[in-house]
Structure 1
Amino acid sequence: MPEKFYTLGAFEFPADVQVIKGRLEAEGIYVYLRDENFLNTDPLVSQAVGGVKLQVYTRDKDRAIEIYDEFRRYAIDDKGNPVTCPNCKAQRSEAYYARKGFYHKLFPFFEKKKYRCLKCGMITKPQ
Protein backbone atom coordinates (compact mmCIF):
# COMPACT_ATOMS: atom_id res chain seq x y z
CA MET A 1 0.00 0.00 0.00
CA PRO A 2 1.53 3.35 -1.03
CA GLU A 3 2.08 5.93 1.67
CA LYS A 4 0.15 9.19 1.64
CA PHE A 5 1.60 12.68 1.74
CA TYR A 6 0.49 15.58 3.93
CA THR A 7 0.97 19.13 2.63
CA LEU A 8 2.55 21.37 5.27
CA GLY A 9 2.42 24.52 3.19
CA ALA A 10 2.79 26.16 -0.19
CA PHE A 11 5.48 28.64 -1.19
CA GLU A 12 5.46 31.08 -4.06
CA PHE A 13 8.97 30.29 -5.26
CA PRO A 14 11.13 27.13 -4.99
CA ALA A 15 13.92 29.03 -3.21
CA ASP A 16 11.54 30.02 -0.37
CA VAL A 17 11.11 26.42 0.76
CA GLN A 18 14.74 25.32 0.88
CA VAL A 19 15.50 26.35 4.49
CA ILE A 20 12.57 24.46 6.00
CA LYS A 21 13.24 21.50 3.70
CA GLY A 22 16.82 21.29 4.98
CA ARG A 23 15.67 21.51 8.60
CA LEU A 24 13.09 18.75 8.16
CA GLU A 25 15.58 16.49 6.40
CA ALA A 26 18.13 17.12 9.18
CA GLU A 27 15.53 15.73 11.59
CA GLY A 28 15.17 12.59 9.48
CA ILE A 29 11.88 13.54 7.82
CA TYR A 30 11.57 12.79 4.10
CA VAL A 31 10.38 15.86 2.16
CA TYR A 32 8.75 16.00 -1.27
CA LEU A 33 8.45 19.32 -3.10
CA ARG A 34 5.49 19.07 -5.44
CA ASP A 35 5.60 21.29 -8.56
CA GLU A 36 9.17 22.42 -7.79
CA ASN A 37 10.61 21.48 -11.18
CA PHE A 38 7.63 22.93 -13.00
CA LEU A 39 8.12 26.30 -11.30
CA ASN A 40 11.87 26.20 -11.84
CA THR A 41 11.20 26.16 -15.57
CA ASP A 42 8.55 28.92 -15.48
CA PRO A 43 8.27 30.84 -12.17
CA LEU A 44 5.62 33.20 -13.58
CA VAL A 45 2.92 30.53 -13.25
CA SER A 46 3.46 30.11 -9.50
CA GLN A 47 0.12 31.61 -8.49
CA ALA A 48 -1.72 29.64 -11.14
CA VAL A 49 -0.53 26.26 -9.80
CA GLY A 50 -0.55 27.25 -6.13
CA GLY A 51 3.21 27.43 -5.65
CA VAL A 52 5.60 24.75 -4.47
CA LYS A 53 3.89 22.36 -2.04
CA LEU A 54 5.98 21.15 0.89
CA GLN A 55 4.85 17.59 1.60
CA VAL A 56 5.83 14.94 4.14
CA TYR A 57 4.62 11.40 4.80
CA THR A 58 1.53 11.32 7.02
CA ARG A 59 3.43 9.22 9.57
CA ASP A 60 5.78 12.23 10.09
CA LYS A 61 3.01 14.85 10.05
CA ASP A 62 2.91 15.80 13.76
CA ARG A 63 6.67 16.11 14.15
CA ALA A 64 6.95 18.01 10.86
CA ILE A 65 4.25 20.49 11.92
CA GLU A 66 6.13 21.25 15.15
CA ILE A 67 9.34 21.95 13.23
CA TYR A 68 7.54 23.91 10.52
CA ASP A 69 5.82 26.14 13.09
CA GLU A 70 9.23 27.22 14.39
CA PHE A 71 10.08 28.67 10.96
CA ARG A 72 6.69 29.68 9.61
CA ARG A 73 6.12 33.31 8.79
CA TYR A 74 2.64 34.46 9.69
CA ALA A 75 0.73 37.15 7.81
CA ILE A 76 1.41 40.79 8.60
CA ASP A 77 -0.69 43.85 7.71
CA ASP A 78 0.45 46.88 5.72
CA LYS A 79 1.96 48.44 8.87
CA GLY A 80 4.09 45.37 9.63
CA ASN A 81 1.96 44.13 12.54
CA PRO A 82 0.79 40.50 12.79
CA VAL A 83 -2.76 39.93 11.54
CA THR A 84 -5.04 39.21 14.52
CA CYS A 85 -8.00 36.87 14.18
CA PRO A 86 -11.22 38.66 15.23
CA ASN A 87 -12.67 35.35 16.47
CA CYS A 88 -9.96 33.84 18.71
CA LYS A 89 -7.47 36.76 18.84
CA ALA A 90 -4.59 34.53 17.70
CA GLN A 91 -1.84 36.10 15.62
CA ARG A 92 -1.29 32.98 13.52
CA SER A 93 -2.86 33.75 10.14
CA GLU A 94 -1.75 33.19 6.56
CA ALA A 95 -2.88 34.56 3.22
CA TYR A 96 -5.87 32.68 1.81
CA TYR A 97 -7.26 32.52 -1.72
CA ALA A 98 -10.46 30.53 -2.31
CA ARG A 99 -10.09 30.36 -6.10
CA LYS A 100 -13.81 29.81 -6.52
CA GLY A 101 -15.34 30.44 -9.87
CA PHE A 102 -13.96 30.08 -13.35
CA TYR A 103 -12.48 33.61 -13.51
CA HIS A 104 -10.38 33.25 -10.34
CA LYS A 105 -9.20 29.80 -11.38
CA LEU A 106 -7.85 31.29 -14.61
CA PHE A 107 -6.60 34.53 -13.04
CA PRO A 108 -5.99 33.88 -9.32
CA PHE A 109 -3.96 37.07 -8.90
CA PHE A 110 -7.15 39.15 -9.34
CA GLU A 111 -8.78 37.63 -6.26
CA LYS A 112 -8.82 39.89 -3.20
CA LYS A 113 -6.53 38.74 -0.40
CA LYS A 114 -8.07 37.19 2.68
CA TYR A 115 -6.53 35.67 5.77
CA ARG A 116 -7.16 32.23 7.33
CA CYS A 117 -6.52 31.78 11.04
CA LEU A 118 -4.43 28.67 11.64
CA LYS A 119 -5.88 28.25 15.13
CA CYS A 120 -9.65 28.43 14.56
CA GLY A 121 -9.85 28.38 10.74
CA MET A 122 -11.85 31.61 10.39
CA ILE A 123 -11.42 33.44 7.08
CA THR A 124 -11.37 37.25 7.24
CA LYS A 125 -10.70 40.20 4.94
CA PRO A 126 -7.87 42.67 5.60
CA GLN A 127 -8.90 45.41 8.02
Structure 2
Amino acid sequence: MKVEFHTIGSFEFPADALIIKGKLEAEGIPAFLRDEATVNSDPSLSGAMGGVRLQVYATDWDRAKQIYDEVRGYATDKFGNPIVCPNCKATRSEIYYARKNFFYKLFPFFESTKYRCLQCNFITRPSK
Protein backbone atom coordinates (compact mmCIF):
# COMPACT_ATOMS: atom_id res chain seq x y z
CA MET A 1 0.00 0.00 0.00
CA LYS A 2 1.41 3.35 -1.07
CA VAL A 3 1.16 6.21 1.42
CA GLU A 4 0.78 9.63 -0.17
CA PHE A 5 1.73 12.91 1.51
CA HIS A 6 0.77 16.49 0.66
CA THR A 7 2.74 19.58 1.63
CA ILE A 8 0.67 22.09 3.57
CA GLY A 9 3.38 24.76 3.59
CA SER A 10 7.09 25.51 3.52
CA PHE A 11 8.79 27.44 6.29
CA GLU A 12 12.17 29.15 6.43
CA PHE A 13 12.59 28.30 10.10
CA PRO A 14 11.79 24.92 11.69
CA ALA A 15 10.25 26.63 14.73
CA ASP A 16 7.50 28.15 12.54
CA ALA A 17 6.69 24.73 11.11
CA LEU A 18 6.64 23.16 14.59
CA ILE A 19 3.96 25.59 15.76
CA ILE A 20 1.59 24.64 12.94
CA LYS A 21 2.51 20.96 13.33
CA GLY A 22 1.53 21.15 17.00
CA LYS A 23 -1.81 22.73 16.12
CA LEU A 24 -2.57 20.03 13.54
CA GLU A 25 -1.65 17.24 15.95
CA ALA A 26 -3.81 18.83 18.66
CA GLU A 27 -6.70 18.58 16.18
CA GLY A 28 -5.93 14.87 15.65
CA ILE A 29 -4.13 15.17 12.31
CA PRO A 30 -0.71 13.47 12.09
CA ALA A 31 1.85 15.88 10.59
CA PHE A 32 5.45 15.43 9.48
CA LEU A 33 8.37 17.80 8.86
CA ARG A 34 10.56 17.19 5.85
CA ASP A 35 14.17 18.47 5.85
CA GLU A 36 13.90 19.74 9.43
CA ALA A 37 17.17 18.10 10.55
CA THR A 38 19.09 19.46 7.55
CA VAL A 39 17.87 23.02 8.07
CA ASN A 40 18.54 22.77 11.82
CA SER A 41 22.11 21.66 11.15
CA ASP A 42 22.77 24.38 8.55
CA PRO A 43 20.12 27.15 8.44
CA SER A 44 21.75 28.79 5.41
CA LEU A 45 20.50 25.86 3.30
CA SER A 46 16.85 26.62 4.02
CA GLY A 47 16.33 28.92 1.05
CA ALA A 48 18.09 26.64 -1.41
CA MET A 49 16.13 23.58 -0.24
CA GLY A 50 12.76 25.27 -0.21
CA GLY A 51 12.63 25.41 3.58
CA VAL A 52 11.13 22.93 6.01
CA ARG A 53 8.05 21.34 4.49
CA LEU A 54 5.07 20.48 6.67
CA GLN A 55 3.31 17.42 5.28
CA VAL A 56 0.16 15.48 6.08
CA TYR A 57 -1.41 12.30 4.75
CA ALA A 58 -3.40 12.83 1.56
CA THR A 59 -6.53 11.62 3.38
CA ASP A 60 -6.17 14.47 5.93
CA TRP A 61 -5.43 17.20 3.37
CA ASP A 62 -8.78 19.04 3.33
CA ARG A 63 -9.13 19.32 7.11
CA ALA A 64 -5.43 20.14 7.58
CA LYS A 65 -5.57 22.89 4.95
CA GLN A 66 -8.64 24.38 6.62
CA ILE A 67 -6.90 24.47 10.02
CA TYR A 68 -3.71 25.87 8.50
CA ASP A 69 -5.60 28.67 6.73
CA GLU A 70 -7.30 29.62 10.02
CA VAL A 71 -4.03 30.10 11.93
CA ARG A 72 -1.44 31.06 9.32
CA GLY A 73 0.03 34.50 8.90
CA TYR A 74 -0.39 36.19 5.54
CA ALA A 75 2.08 38.50 3.84
CA THR A 76 2.28 42.08 5.08
CA ASP A 77 4.06 45.20 3.87
CA LYS A 78 6.79 47.00 5.82
CA PHE A 79 4.13 48.77 7.91
CA GLY A 80 2.33 45.56 8.90
CA ASN A 81 -0.63 46.07 6.56
CA PRO A 82 -1.83 43.03 4.61
CA ILE A 83 -0.81 42.79 0.96
CA VAL A 84 -3.88 43.47 -1.19
CA CYS A 85 -4.19 41.57 -4.46
CA PRO A 86 -4.56 44.06 -7.34
CA ASN A 87 -6.60 41.50 -9.29
CA CYS A 88 -9.31 40.44 -6.80
CA LYS A 89 -8.64 42.75 -3.80
CA ALA A 90 -8.21 39.81 -1.39
CA THR A 91 -5.86 40.21 1.59
CA ARG A 92 -4.67 36.59 1.69
CA SER A 93 -1.29 36.54 -0.05
CA GLU A 94 1.98 34.72 0.58
CA ILE A 95 5.55 35.40 -0.46
CA TYR A 96 6.31 33.72 -3.76
CA TYR A 97 9.65 32.83 -5.36
CA ALA A 98 9.67 31.45 -8.90
CA ARG A 99 13.31 30.23 -8.88
CA LYS A 100 13.04 29.63 -12.61
CA ASN A 101 16.73 29.66 -13.48
CA PHE A 102 19.81 27.98 -12.08
CA PHE A 103 21.23 31.21 -10.59
CA TYR A 104 18.18 31.80 -8.39
CA LYS A 105 18.13 28.16 -7.34
CA LEU A 106 21.69 28.54 -6.06
CA PHE A 107 21.25 32.08 -4.71
CA PRO A 108 17.54 32.51 -3.91
CA PHE A 109 18.16 35.61 -1.79
CA PHE A 110 18.92 37.60 -4.99
CA GLU A 111 15.45 37.00 -6.44
CA SER A 112 13.07 39.89 -5.94
CA THR A 113 10.16 39.28 -3.61
CA LYS A 114 6.77 38.67 -5.18
CA TYR A 115 3.41 37.77 -3.68
CA ARG A 116 0.89 35.13 -4.74
CA CYS A 117 -2.76 35.69 -3.93
CA LEU A 118 -4.21 32.58 -2.33
CA GLN A 119 -7.67 33.34 -3.71
CA CYS A 120 -6.96 33.92 -7.42
CA ASN A 121 -3.25 32.89 -7.69
CA PHE A 122 -2.29 36.25 -9.18
CA ILE A 123 1.45 37.02 -8.85
CA THR A 124 2.43 40.61 -8.05
CA ARG A 125 5.46 42.59 -6.93
CA PRO A 126 5.27 44.73 -3.78
CA SER A 127 4.51 48.40 -4.24
CA LYS A 128 7.35 50.73 -3.38
Partner of residue 109, structure 1: 109
- Aligned alpha-carbon RMSD (Å): 0.8
Match of 1:23 in 2: 23
Gaps of 5+ in 2: none
Count matched residues.
127
- Correspondence list, 1:50-61, <5 A: 50-61=50-61
Q: Which residue of 1 aligns with 2:71?
A: 71
TM-score, with length taken from structure 1: 0.97
Aligned to 1:100: 100
CA distance in 2, matches of 1:81, 1:26: 30
Distance 1:26 1:79 in 2: 33
Displaced runs of 4 or more, over 3 A: none
Tell me which amino acid in the other structure corresponds to 1:104: Y
The structural deviation recorded for 1:109 is: 0.6
Which whole-Å CA distance do the structure 1 matches of 2:32 and 2:50 have between them? 15
TM-score with structure 2 setting the length: 0.96
Secondary structure class of the residue paired with 1:45:
helix
Aligned mates of 1:38, 1:91 — CA distance in 2 = 33
Which amino acid counterpart does residue 55 of structure 2 have in structure 1?
Q
The answer to whether structure 1 residue 12 and structure 2 residue 34 are counterparts is no
Give the drift of 1:80: 1.3
The alpha-carbon deviation at position 82 of structure 1 amounts to 0.2
Q: Which stretches in structure 1 are left out of the alignment for 5+ residues?
A: none
Give the AA of the match of 2:17.
V
Residue identity over aligned pairs, in percent, reads 64
* 1:88 matched residue in structure 2: 88
What do residues 101-124 of structure 1 show as CA deviations (whole Å, max 9, x unaligned)? 111111011000000000110100
Letter in structure 2 aligned against 1:12: E
Q: Secondary structure at the match of 2:56?
A: strand
